[in-house]
Structure 1
């Protein structure tokens, strides 16, 4: 594999020794924590202030993870997250949600899948304790083992790793994308075609972001690489990425950026991709509202904040535009399935009304094309019994077993849902999640 397209590898191994079974032993290997922070962690743990310590160490880890992402460029981060509101002046610790930071860091190989899973689950657990009322908080406390797990995960994933955890290989390749125009038969292009999916998605995001942020020679190289790389990757791209190319074309037309229009038109014409160009920019509004639902759902006080967020999405219109369909479905189903601690009851009626509007064609599109890439929903079906049982009810209510299913593992997942077989559902969901996060 050519050095300029070497796919950065996720971190392997552990920083914390297996023998470390107390806070001082774990905190002392956290190279990215000051001695003062280490002392505070140890003191809080020894005082049995487990939730306070867990919140402190998780916040430290996530803040560092966000800064590492920001070192790649906040405008680029915004493109990767589908966040048009992010630019180079955005403050990463404020602008990027915790769930977004974990997911994007895993996709980019800054942390490995195991640590990403644990960080996500720790985030949910901390949100649960934070949402307890005073009476419940008196009787439901974080255990010593849970607090140690928080500390171990944060040190292994982020706080124990020296230097900048942003991958140097990626930074180098990103610069090359904007510093030269590749040719169809270049080894980098051939390698890119068989690279893991997140690498293709990232490359595409760099190019589309470059249309808006680059000028001069960098802008010209960006457009040249769009013409070469979009056709090379097209057959392996998921619909979400194809829609993003079509959306960029529509925006370039509206902004009268002639060179970008010509380059994107040439790329789309070569793959007959104009079906993915939205007729209007209405989809941007839907996508932004759906992204807000997901942000609220994965943050603190989610049950309280979800009703307003899902209501804003429901009020946008009676039909969801296709470009925004994948993220909108992920948002609606996240509210409907809830998490291991329950659902936001006040938000369920709005979520159900959105699901009630779906046609057979839309359900089949979601099951066959979108669920395969819906990490948030697959996590719920893989990890937690509560969301699984609510999924069983949803499958029955909307008669999903009668839909035409093309993918074998999805078919197994739906059949397991009809028989309410949690074990088989978990296995199928885990297989899909592993395929998604390792490609």
Structure 2
């Protein structure tokens, strides 16, 4: 088994019966010492390790080159064997690039690229390209780059500067097998031009959305980060059609909770550029982008203060206006979206708690029931510091203090909110006030 796949076991014939006598006869006929070639023990040692190494290579990659490599090992020609193994690795790496998509590579490298250029690449250039496309890992690149040096200096492909033994050959083949001749999932690049054409044409159907999300999932990290940055730009562009903006945010929503640090950093950098340039339309849209994705925690504390404070003021305005029971729910929902799961900046904590608790307690005529679902969700998640503010509200000059002291309905509702708090979250200094409200 390799990389989770079951591969067929390789059984090789014994070679000692014909290899040893042949090599002895050959060196004798040429009048040279037998020691110039690998010893019988070295050949046997390498041969015994070959089946396991070959079994780790998928059957479709056990090509003619692998057969030639085995013949070279059987005769002790380890310098030739590593050349055959390396050639097989290079062929497979080229195929990985082809499967990734040759026509996509110019979009990534900003350079012309085609089949001819792929075939003309030096081995070092091919390794660098595979690393850039995430077709090999950094570890794989390091190991294969060492193999490249060994092949150039110790194989039959060039005049050698020394010889290698069976253990060095075994290590060489193992590295090629693990990092090039494997069935690891091959990354497939996203054709950005095709993606943009589809996105701008019309809104995605559920089937289209699934196809493009799958493609984005299968591409490499750097391109995925670039795609999210591009979609953020589309969402923030006031000149874009609404269907393009909706599609952009919908795709990002599918990946928001798994954004890489690079993705998050790139999005924040672009967000701050909008602010620095005074592009208010794009900046406000960018805030909405983070809000809709539940990523407000990425924004600065100052910015979150401004968003939450504005939402609190809007909510209180609606709460104190006409038809508040009907108008409050969307404002309550937005405040919940801004706050649930995020730490409230200390600078806006009191305003936030007072707005939520005041609206949840309501007025003498009742509470906006649909909005109260959001209020209670927020209140049950209050931190100890927010609970402290809440329990202090009845004793300081506030709208809610006036309602609690003047109307039994408001007092009973406040008590129910206090009872709903988690006892473990009550600050020790406020335990007596908490218990008093439970008994009220």
What TM-score do you get using the length of structure 2 for normalisation? 0.36
Give the structure, 1 or 2, with the largest relative contact order (CA under 8 Å, sep 6 or more): 1
What TM-score do you get using the length of structure 1 for normalisation? 0.36
Larger radius of gyration: 2
